[in-house]
Amino acid sequence: MKVSIDFARCEGHGLCEEAAPDLFRLDDEGDLLALFDHEADLPADRQTAAERAVRVCPIGALKVAGR
């Protein structure tokens, strides 16, 4: 499974960071940082957290791909 991230669409709400702090972080300017290689498949032990973050994004900047 991969997570597709639309960085331009992200508004910096931070809900993904709350849902999956080991995967997402907002920098000091409120820009989203992916703490994983978003071009590669996520390890199985991180997929549940990623799916949770995708669900809570209020503007759909995150999407699950490759399932």
DSSP 1-58: -EEEE-TTT-----HHHHH-TTTEEE-TTS-EEESS-TTSPPPHHHHHHHHHHHHH-T
Total number of domains in the chain? 1
pTM of the model: 0.90
Residue 67 confidence (pLDDT): 59
| Full residue range of the structural domain in which residue 19 is found | 2-65
Encode pLDDT of 19-65 as tens digits: 999 999 999 999 999 999 988 999 999 999 999 999 999 999 999 98
CATH number of the domain to which 55 belongs = 3.30.70.20
